[in-house]
Amino acid sequence: MTAFVLKRLGFAVITLFAVLTIVFFIVRVLPGDPAMAILGDQASQGALNALRARLGLDQPLYVQYFQFLGGVLVGDWGVSMVSGRPVIQEILKVLPATLELTFVSLVLGAAVGIPLGVWSAVRRNKLPDYITRIASLLGLSFPAFVSAVLLLLVFAIQLRWFPVISSGQGTTLSDRLRDLALPAINLGLIMAAYITRVSRSAMLEVLNQDYVRTAHAKGLAFATIIWRHCLRNALIPVVTVVGLYLGILIGNSVLTEIVFNRPGLGKLIIGALNQRDYTMLQGMMVIYTLIVVLVNLITDLTYGLIDPRIKYS
């Protein structure tokens, strides 16, 4: 177990290092001058040079690279080129809002998706199965911003059940839930579509196993067989997919935050892109990669909890 965890950790560190390198060079090599972006194209050459020197952009590329790597290691992710505040502080300020949205959507997606997938598999090739399959395919055909706009149109503008703009700053629990409801439903339903499909196919594989027939033969209750014996074995692919789709969920959360005008990493990254805030962009990529790598690690380690037969060898 320890060896497995260490191996996975090692791989996570290599991935992170590789991504940091790619991020650094993508941000630096592509066209666009941050000094000009900040000061505008009317700025004098002297002012531009002074700002480049202050930001360290006049240093050779390799010096900037090692400074960047060293900084990331000690938690110094530089200061925002636009606001002048430390990048890590700016990120940590909005990170909880994005994590809250992502986590609630994930829970919602699993709560809707797993039972639907199981139901669909049990009723295979019957009406509920067809409806579920078409609905889930439709669900994953929605670009997140399209479903967000439609939800906003129906529930916030026409029915007025929810606020059109969620502040994300609500203090009471009911305020927070009202703010969170539509964005979380939007992401949660798309996630549910993915989870339904993978739960269904994982259950279909398990339902044909010999031990399921044995369980039926010895007279176990149908519900016990499905929920205790089948689902537990079908969960591994579901967990893998949930881990894999986190990248999609993060991308979708950017779009959702924009439509619902919710504070979070999404709005931060769009602001950074518009202002060519290179240090902020680097920091955002670091945090996104950290999240993805961490979730992959947790996904791998979760297998053992679900299936005690996995020995991490």
Binding site for another protein (CB under 8 A): 14-15, 18-19, 22, 26-27, 30-32, 124-125, 137-138, 140-146, 149-150, 152-153, 157, 201, 204-205, 247-248, 250-252, 254-255, 258-259, 269-270, 273, 281, 284-285, 288-289, 292-293, 296
Give the nearer residue to another protein in terms of CB position, either 79 or 254. 254
Q: Please give the Cα distance from 24 to 278 (Å, whole number).
A: 9
How far apart are CB 69 and another protein at their closest, in Å? 16
Three-state SS string over 126-190 comes to: CHHHHHHHHHHHHHCCCCHHHHHHHHHHHHHHHCCCCCCCCCCCCCCHHHHHHHHHHHHHHHHHH
- With contact defined as beta carbons under 8 Å apart, do 199 and 113 qualify? yes
Tokens linked to 304: 């053992």
Give the nearer residue to another protein in terms of CB position, either 50 or 122. 122
How far apart are CB 267 and another protein at their closest, in Å? 11
How far apart are CB 221 and another protein at their closest, in Å? 27
Give the nearer residue to another protein in terms of CB position, either 9 or 111. 9
Burial group, residue 159, by CB count within 10 angstroms (0-12, 13-18, 19+):
exposed
How far apart are CB 245 and another protein at their closest, in Å? 10
Give the DSSP per-residue string, 52-64.
HHHHTTTS-HHHH
- Please give the helix or strand (H or E) that residue 309 lies within, else none: none
Place of tokens 């965890």: 5
Q: Please give the Cα distance from 204 to 185 (Å, whole number).
A: 27
How far apart are CB 74 and another protein at their closest, in Å? 23
How far apart are CB 48 and another protein at their closest, in Å? 19
How far apart are CB 173 and another protein at their closest, in Å? 29
Give the DSSP per-residue string, 195-244.
HHHHHHHHHHHHHTSHHHHHHHHTT--HHHIIIIIIHHHHHHHHHHHHHH
Bridge partners (DSSP) of residue 79 are 86
